[in-house]
Structure 1
Amino acid sequence: MRHQLSFACEGAALAATLDEAPGTTGLLIVSGGNEVRSGAHRGMAMLAQRVAAAGHPVFRFDRRGIGDSEGTNGGYTSSGADIAAAVSAFRDAAPQVTQIVAFGNCDAASALLLHQPLALDALILANPWTYEDGDEEADEPALPPASAIRARYLARLKDPKSLLRLLKGEIDIGKLFRGLSALKQAPQPPAPDSLADQLDGMIAELPCPATILLATGDRTAQAFMDALAPSLAYLEANPSTVRIAKLASPSHSFAGGDADWLFERILEGLT
């Protein structure tokens, strides 16, 4: 059964939804961007319903200033108090829960890392956001990660139509050379104190197990993989409490058929 409720966070009333289930391990869904708790096209609401049907209670909420919640929207970097209050409210609403696993996609995944320590037993982090604030507003759009450029140009080289367009002069040569030059750049460690550097440090010091889910065709995931390449390579070669799972998909939110893969990974993280 699904219930609507509210809880307090620093003087503001936050809206939440609980999908009841008898299990003692619950899932806390933290919304990314400025999405309400139902998610894009009700994706998080449908995910919550499936997880609850599998026996795990699920708690979703709108952070301050979003959806039905009061307060000022301070973005993911200011959401630590919201998440902590949601954890407490989840335990109050579902007293049988002894363990809470938190799931976040995009900047919600980054928020779960940045705001440690939190009273959580495990994390499921999908396509973590590593772009600095304002990147998307720059006069000159940032180049995609080198891995994305490489995949794109390899695909074009295999496509006779793209080669024909090049011969006809329909492709911007300057843009082509700009893109190809990026392929020569060796992966660089995150700049000190950058968001990627902070996330890298948090992953290395996590107090609980974590699963990192990456849609390898998604630009946000590609940027994360490029920025933290040495650390991720080490984690994949040396299994630890941080596990990495990859899906060959461009879907940032694991939409369509990818929803089944996401659901399966979340169930693994809950058991």
Structure 2
Amino acid sequence: MKRLPLSFECQGKRCGATLDSAPGKTGLLLVSGGNEIRAGAFNGQARLAAEIAAAGFPVFRFDRRGIGDSAGENRGFRKSRKDIAAALNAFRAMAPQVERVVAYGNCDAASALMLTEGAGCDALVLSNPWTIEDETDDTRPPSAIRSRYADKLKNPREVLRLVTGGVNLSKLARGLARALGPKAAPTTLAQEMAAGIGGFDGPVRILLATADRTAQLFEESWDSADSRIARCPGADHAYSSAEARVWLKDRLLEALRDQRMK
């Protein structure tokens, strides 16, 4: 396995990329979320790419225009279709043995893949998709509040605070009222994502980190019984714990090895 720095063109702009080579005929395209460079948070995507390549699957990472090593204007995830498509073409050119490409995106990278109907990839792994339209809104969904109270009731110290009067009962009552409230209506973005993924014919897996607010808000806008969903208990947005990192890698390897992708 070799790690090769390279570049490709997108709409006349040079974009930075990295290929972790491997002999497999199925490859992984890593799409970065937010304004994150292709190395990922705390170098997480670079580490993940090395592990996946060591298992025999080539991995291609890239910076979209205006991010990291890439020139041009950062137009955000909603307008990243051409960046993803150009990266996919570069991946296929640099690893010509690849017959199928699985795309993985976390946060708004997952949203971008949904909005673009997979952007030409053969299968998708969508993690903690971003459905928030008002980024100043810090309201937690009822499901997240219920989860928080359930965790507190498992903690003997919190139970002791409750029975000894150490809890603000008015605040508790407001929280319980919100916890029992109905699911919020799907945002316009969530509806657009559902429509986009509805037009994708390949296999889809949806990964949710249960301690992540972005994932919790996605579930409020989605069918929680969707059989494509897999949940990582207690994981944060970046799967930063050792256990969560292993869980994520295993889910990606399952997707890459899935015979239904043929």
TM-score norm. by structure 1 comes to: 0.87
The 2-side partners of 1:46 and 1:182 are apart by: 40
SS at match of 2:249: helix
| 1:11-48 CA-partner distances (Å, limit 9, x unpaired) | 21100000111111110000011111011111100110
Match of 1:14 in 2: 15
> 1:217: how far off?
2.0
The 1-side partners of 2:168 and 2:114 are apart by: 40
Amino acid corresponding to residue 53 of structure 2 in structure 1: A
SS at match of 2:48: helix
Percent identity of the aligned residues? 52
SS at match of 2:183: coil
The 2-side partners of 1:178 and 1:250 are apart by: 27
Match of 1:201 among 182, 195, 201: 195
| 1:171-197 CA-partner distances (Å, limit 9, x unpaired) | 555543332221221224425xx1111
> 1:56: how far off?
0.8
Gaps of 5+ in 2: 258-262
Match of 2:135 in 1: 136
CA RMSD of aligned residues (A): 1.9
The 2-side partners of 1:26 and 1:155 are apart by: 39
Q: Is the 8 A contact 2:7 2:15 kept in 1?
A: yes
SS at match of 2:147: helix
| 1:106-141 CA-partner distances (Å, limit 9, x unpaired) | 111011101125211000001111111xx332xxx4
The 2-side partners of 1:255 and 1:144 are apart by: 22
| 1:198-255 CA-partner distances (Å, limit 9, x unpaired) | 1222333322111111112221111111211xx341x32xxxxxx2211112321112
Alpha-carbon distance change, 163 to 41 in structure 1, aligned in 2, over 3 angstroms: same
Match of 1:239 in 2: none
> 1:79: how far off?
0.9
> 1:70: how far off?
0.4
| 1:68-110 CA-partner distances (Å, limit 9, x unpaired) | 1101111111111110110011111111111111000011101
Match of 1:148 in 2: 144
The 2-side partners of 1:205 and 1:146 are apart by: 30
> 1:161: how far off?
3.0
Amino acid corresponding to residue 72 of structure 1 in structure 2: E
The 2-side partners of 1:158 and 1:263 are apart by: 30
